[in-house]
Amino acid sequence: MLEPTTVYTPSSKRYDAMTYNHAGDSGLQLPAISLGFWHNFGDTTPYDAMRRIVFTAFDNGITHFDLANNYGPEPGSAEKNCGRLLREYFRHHRDELVISTKAGYEMWQGPYGDLGSRKYLLASLDQSLERLGLDYVDIFYHHRMDPSTPLEETMGALATAVDSGKALYVGLSNYDGPTLEKASAILAEMHVPFVINQNRYNIFDRTVERNGLKETANRLGKGLITFSPLAQGLLTNRYLDGIPADSRIAHDGRFLHADVLTDARLQQIRDLNDIARRRGQTLAEMALAWLLHDGKVTSVLVGASRPQQLLDDIGALRDTTFSDEELRRIDEISLR
């Protein structure tokens, strides 16, 4: 077993500044800001950088670490690196953490490593637990809808994950409102603790408003945790004057391409930044606060490449109240 390279003593005040929200009608509480392992916990990131990020997160009340089987690069590496961090520094704090993972996108080649079959989901969960070095995860998600597999089969696999003790709760990711409602009814009949949905949502991307997911989750008493809250960096001050040489657009085209930064989009960003400045916030702070303003979003998943980014994101919690005029103006700008 690897020995810790740094003795880690968490801050005794780690819960003081964080807000915690119930995941829908469940008893599970999540921090308003959660840490996503999507981008910066693969094998291309130095381990010491990952360590400093998770220390900063936990020291500031971020108790939820969110993963998936295919997070990397390479697929599986984020879980493997998270497992090392948990083993070396958090073994005495496991019960203070919510660890979630997912399966649903391609993890290995062939017919059994993708989508929503019982065989894939339960095999993937076993592999995830091995990489994480855990007996169970707190939340196990189906990562995306799969019209090629009966919904009853996929939900039955989630039920088995809970019944086997390998997951405490289950969640659905990237579902729409109608499919969520059908899945929820199946899970309720099996008495499965389905508590949360995970979907992309930000000022520029209102898909969960259009496809009924947000309204349905709220009506059914299910939580909603959102990813890409800053639109891959567009809702920050990074692009106010164009594309910086060290930006994600410039050096990593996997998730954000230069052609999205049109003159019209750039003007939207500048107009939104003007509202944020009048509120006494950065654009990123306002974008995070906007997601939390109506109480229907349980938690916002953020990524970080350095600790200061997390501290900046937590700063959004100082003001999540918006006037009707501010909300109207944000909609007017972002939806035009």
Instruction: Give pLDDT tens digits for 16-32.
Output: 989 999 999 999 999 99
Reply yes or no on whether the pLDDT at 329 is more than 90. Answer: yes
Instruction: Give pLDDT tens digits for 189-237.
Output: 999 999 999 999 999 999 999 999 999 999 999 999 999 999 999 999 9
CA distance 11 to 86: 17
Q: HSE of 248 in the Cβ direction (CA atoms, 13 Å)?
A: 20
CA distance 273 to 287: 10
Q: Is 79:132 a contact under the CB 8 Å cutoff?
A: yes
Q: Is 124:69 a contact under the CB 8 Å cutoff?
A: yes
Reply yes or no on whether the pLDDT at 247 is more than 70. Answer: no
Mean pLDDT of 32-58: 97
Reply yes or no on whether the pLDDT at 188 is more than 50. Answer: yes
Which H, E and C letters describe 183-208, residue by residue?
Answer: HHHHHHHCCCCEEEEEEECCCCCCHH
> Residue 1 has what pLDDT?
39
Its CATH architecture, for the domain 20-334, is Alpha-Beta Barrel (3.20)
What is the torsional sign of CA 284, 295, 68, 257? negative
Mean pLDDT of 253-259: 62
E runs forming strands in 124-274: 137-142, 167-173, 194-200, 223-227
Token couple for 131: 């990489």
Reply yes or no on whether the pLDDT at 49 is more than 70. Answer: yes
What is the torsional sign of CA 143, 148, 154, 155? positive
Instruction: Give pLDDT tens digits for 286-309.
Output: 999 999 999 999 999 999 999 999
- Percent of the chain exceeding pLDDT 90 equals 90
- Percent of the chain exceeding pLDDT 70 equals 94
Judged by DSSP in three states, 266 sits in helix
> Residue 260 has what pLDDT?
83
Q: Is 146:115 a contact under the CB 8 Å cutoff?
A: yes
> Residue 210 has what pLDDT?
98
> Residue 39 has what pLDDT?
87
Q: Is 83:116 a contact under the CB 8 Å cutoff?
A: no
Token couple for 116: 């929503």
> Residue 255 has what pLDDT?
55
pTM for this one?
0.94
Cis peptide bond N-terminal to 111, omega within 30: no
User: Where do the domains of the chain lie?
Assistant: 20-334
Burial class (CB in 10 A: 0-12, 13-18, 19+), 33: buried
Instruction: Give pLDDT tens digits for 136-178.
Output: 999 999 999 999 999 999 999 999 999 999 999 999 999 999 9
Mean pLDDT of 237-266: 73
Reply yes or no on whether the pLDDT at 3 is more than 60. Answer: no
> Residue 242 has what pLDDT?
72
Mean pLDDT of 90-98: 97
Under 8 Å CB-to-CB from 7, ≥6 apart: which residues?
Answer: none
CA distance 51 to 141: 25
> Residue 23 has what pLDDT?
98
Burial 289-319 (b: 16+ CB within 10 A, else e): bbbbbeeebbbbbbbbeebebbebbbbbbee
Reply yes or no on whether the pLDDT at 127 is more than 70. Answer: yes
Reply yes or no on whether the pLDDT at 2 is more than 60. Answer: no
Band of pLDDT at residue 7, cut at 50, 70 and 90: confident
**Averaged confidence pLDDT in the chain:** 94
